[in-house]
Amino acid sequence: MAKNYFKRYIWIIELLQSYSMLTLDEIKYFWMKSNVNDEHKPLADRTFFNNIDAIRDMFGIDIVCNRSTNEYYIENEEDIKGSGIRNWMMNALSMNNLLTESSSMKDRILFEDIPSSQRFLMPIMKAIKDCHKIKVRYKSFAKDSEDERTLNPYCVKSYKQRWYLLASTDENPEPHIYALDRMLEVKQSAFEWTVPEDFNAEEYFAPYCGYPTGNEKYDAPVTVKLKVSAHQANYFRTLPLHNSQKEEQRNEEYSIFTYHLIPNYHFKQLVLSYMDAVEVLEPKRLRQHIRKVLEDSISIYSK
């Protein structure tokens, strides 16, 4: 029964996202045509009002009524479209709902696998929720041997099909990144630990593309300018390289995009992946670095 309630919550949210505003009668009309309505029963007024209360409590999504038109709409729509956990959760739940209703399509919808989420993501998230340290056996790609560490977990972040943990140790209070796919064992410690009150995960990662890799030599974010071919610019507009992306100039041949960030390893890799469709204009230091990497690559193929 709980599963059916959950499906109904997602259905109501998606319906209002699709139509923006609907009267209760219109919602009832769509309900009678929905695959979620397994019993093909009308949607009672009290049931609907209980559902929107549950949606507010569970997802933090406010569905309100415009009394002048008697239409219902999502008041905080922008919160769902953000980049935080609510948006990620809604996307995951909506896709799960779609696959449940359309089981005949399961072999025609393909996903990228994230192996690192299968073993240790849940126990790490539980430790974060319980405010406990974790004991980890870890084998870095840079070392031949493994080691054991007791970590103070701050938060988890996904990037390019991998999950990462930001954590510190008692010996080194500065948090570092640990990849879940390099963990061999994870156990929740009996010792409690609380994230500092002034820590904000979104602010911590904001200056970076992906996450800090430890070899950034910039003390603060800088302004980066990229000259992007007109064709490639279409892709940049629909999927920005970074949240700070702004299109400062546009013509038939190219666009100029600016960013305010720390040009870390991941950002440089992205720029290089677009080859001759992207040119670094500023800062000079980054332009010279990209040029050297390209020259070194050419030397490999000229042998």
What pLDDT is recorded for position 260? Answer: 96
Domain boundary among 199, 214, 241: 199
Question: What is the DSSP code (8-state) at residue 20?
Answer: S
SS3 assignment, position 154? strand
> Do residues 283 and 224 lie in contact, with contact meaning Cβ atoms separated by under 8 Å?
yes
Please state the domain count of the chain: 3
Cβ neighbours, 10 Å, residue 122: 11
H-assigned helices in the chain: 2-19, 24-33, 45-59, 77-80, 85-101, 121-130, 201-205, 230-238, 265-273, 284-301
Q: How far apart are CA 54 and CA 58, in angstroms?
A: 6
- Check whether residue 149 and residue 67 sit in a common domain: no
- Check whether residue 93 and residue 35 sit in a common domain: yes
List the CATH number of the domain containing 133: 2.30.30.100
- Check whether residue 16 and residue 50 sit in a common domain: yes
Q: How far apart are CA 181 and CA 178, in angstroms?
A: 9
Structural domain for 138, as ranges: 115-199
Q: How far apart are CA 260 and CA 248, in angstroms?
A: 13
Q: How far apart are CA 270 and CA 35, in angstroms?
A: 42
Using alpha carbons, select from 253, 262, 206, 255 the residue that is nearest to residue 235: 255
Q: Is residue 217 part of a domain?
A: no
- Check whether residue 168 and residue 258 sit in a common domain: no
What pLDDT is recorded for position 79? Answer: 61
Q: Is residue 204 part of a domain?
A: no
Q: How far apart are CA 268 and CA 255, in angstroms?
A: 19
- Check whether residue 99 and residue 121 sit in a common domain: no
> 144: Cβ–Cβ under 8 A, 6 or more apart, which residues?
none
What pLDDT is recorded for position 4? Answer: 63
pTM above 0.85, yes or no: no
- Check whether residue 37 and residue 67 sit in a common domain: yes
Per-residue pLDDT of the chain (303 residues; tens, 9 = 90+): 445 677 788 889 888 888 889 999 999 999 998 878 878 889 999 999 999 998 888 778 899 999 999 999 998 776 655 555 556 555 655 665 555 555 555 666 666 666 665 678 888 888 988 899 999 999 988 888 889 999 999 999 888 888 899 999 999 999 999 999 999 999 999 999 999 999 999 899 999 999 988 666 667 899 999 999 999 999 999 999 999 999 999 999 999 999 999 999 999 999 999 999 999 999 999 999 999 999 999 999 887
- Check whether residue 95 and residue 164 sit in a common domain: no
- Check whether residue 249 and residue 294 sit in a common domain: yes
- Check whether residue 6 and residue 93 sit in a common domain: yes
Question: What is the DSSP code (8-state) at residue 241?
Answer: S
Question: What is the DSSP code (8-state) at residue 261?
Answer: E
Domain boundary among 42, 75, 104: 104
Domain boundary among 168, 199, 230: 199
The angle that helices 284-301 and 265-273 make with each other, rounded to 10 degrees, is: 60
Q: Is residue 110 part of a domain?
A: no
- Check whether residue 100 and residue 38 sit in a common domain: yes
Q: Is residue 278 part of a domain?
A: yes
